[in-house]
Amino acid sequence: MIRKIWNWQKTEWPHFSYNEDALKNLEQKFSQNTGIVLGAFKHVNKSEKEQLIIEILSNEALKTSEIEGEYLDRDSIQSSIKKNLGLKVDKKKIASAEFGISEMMVDLYKNHNKQLSHKQLYNWHKMLTNGRRDLNDIGKYRTHEDPMQVVSGRLDKPTIHFEAPASQNMQQEMAQFITWFNTLHSKTEYNVLPLVKASITHLYFVSIHPFEDGNGRIARALAEKSVAQSVGQPALISLSKTIEANKKAYYNALENNNKHADITDWILYFGQTILDAQEDTLKLIDFVIEKAKFFDRFTQVMNERQLKVVTRFFNAGHQGFDGGLSAENYTRIAKTSASTATRDLKDMVDKKMVIKTGELKGTRYWLNLKS
């Protein structure tokens, strides 16, 4: 007799249960954050909105790939996202992986309100696997006879973290999933809370694991699509950036919730992750606004070297340079001498462009963003 270990083997499948009372505080905070994010977004100009969208989509493209151990080039990602959004970019060649994940992020952003379909999922998989030659099933659900397992450890003694339904059941499982998703997000279904919808969407999809590869990235995209449909516009969060900051907690939460129908713990974890992603977006909006103010104040009084270093500083995002800017960093970025770097930095401190902390070799410089 086959031992029934996994959630999809249980009689309740695919009906998940949870303690709604335990989620009330999260849902209340989600509602508050959503209002703040949407309100803040309305108060930025068109150029700043473009920057925000590019930054959010870029972060998601980079980090959803990094979660899977794939490290892509940020500049290529941003160029590709701009191109897919119809914005002006240079004509440099973009690698297949960067182009594919960027194309998927823009499709998610543009078509967030459309009903989910097999076709959209197939297209996402084609985008994700752009340039791949090592897969048998691209742009369709898996067909291989071998068990679809998530494993780690030695080849001769692997640890099986999860085993998904057999490939022969994919069409049936995915037809059921798509019907469930579209019904849950229809205008008549207001009784299920937004964080619950997004959390179940992710766990349900990865439990099916319908593709030969790319299931985690598509699951995270579907969770954002769920959030977007709940709030009625693009989610404006980088969920994967928040997850990637503590991947271990993410994988532990998945493993701890793939054997039972009650997934309250998973929703508590994933719901908090969405809230953290909203908070990060609020910081990013504030950063973009302060960036615009900074350049308004200082562009006319910066020399070419200073402008180059400041631009590099801003490109590091709202979390900034790790540990601040040193004179040595300045020399390298500006491609100048140590004495010139010292003069430039003193000038920037005097003009209140940067704030100086520390002494001697411990001296660091930070952008003075608050006007």
pLDDT over threshold 80, residue 264: yes
What's the CATH number where 209 sits? 1.10.3290.10
Range of the domain at 58: 7-286
Tens of pLDDT, residues 111-141: 999 999 999 999 999 999 998 999 999 999 9
- Which pLDDT band, with edges at 50, 70 and 90, does 320 fall under? low
In a domain, 296, yes or no: no
DSSP code at position 165: P
Average pLDDT, the chain: 93
- Which pLDDT band, with edges at 50, 70 and 90, does 93 fall under? confident
Residue 190 or residue 361, greater confidence: 361
Residue 250 or residue 46, greater confidence: 250
Nearest alpha carbon to residue 104 among 86, 121, 92, 118: 121
In a domain, 346, yes or no: yes
pLDDT over threshold 70, residue 2: no
Tell me, yes or no, whether 313 and 247 share the same domain.
Answer: no
Burial class (CB within 10 angstroms; exposed 0-12, middle 13-18, buried 19+) of 57:
buried
Average pLDDT over residues 154-176: 94
In a domain, 297, yes or no: no
In a domain, 85, yes or no: yes
DSSP alpha helix (H) spans, the chain: 24-42, 46-67, 74-84, 96-110, 118-128, 170-184, 194-208, 215-231, 239-244, 247-256, 264-298, 304-315, 327-334, 338-350
Nearest alpha carbon to residue 208 among 180, 241, 235: 180
In a domain, 246, yes or no: yes
The residue to which tokens 């960027």 are assigned = 102
What's the CATH number where 307 sits? 1.10.10.10
Tell me, yes or no, whether 194 and 93 share the same domain.
Answer: yes
In a domain, 339, yes or no: yes
Domain count of the chain?
2
CA distance 364 to 14: 55
Nearest alpha carbon to residue 247 among 221, 231, 269: 269
Tens of pLDDT, residues 61-80: 999 999 999 999 998 999 99
**Domain finish residue from 223, 251, 286:** 286
Tell me, yes or no, whether 281 and 309 share the same domain.
Answer: no
pLDDT over threshold 70, residue 302: yes
Tell me, yes or no, whether 107 and 210 share the same domain.
Answer: yes
- Which pLDDT band, with edges at 50, 70 and 90, does 41 fall under? confident
pLDDT at 1 (0 to 100): 42
Tens of pLDDT, residues 306-315: 999 999 888 7
In a domain, 295, yes or no: no
Tell me, yes or no, whether 248 and 350 share the same domain.
Answer: no
Tens of pLDDT, residues 228-250: 999 999 999 999 999 999 999 99
Tens of pLDDT, residues 179-206: 999 999 997 766 889 999 999 999 999 9
**Domain finish residue from 232, 258, 286:** 286
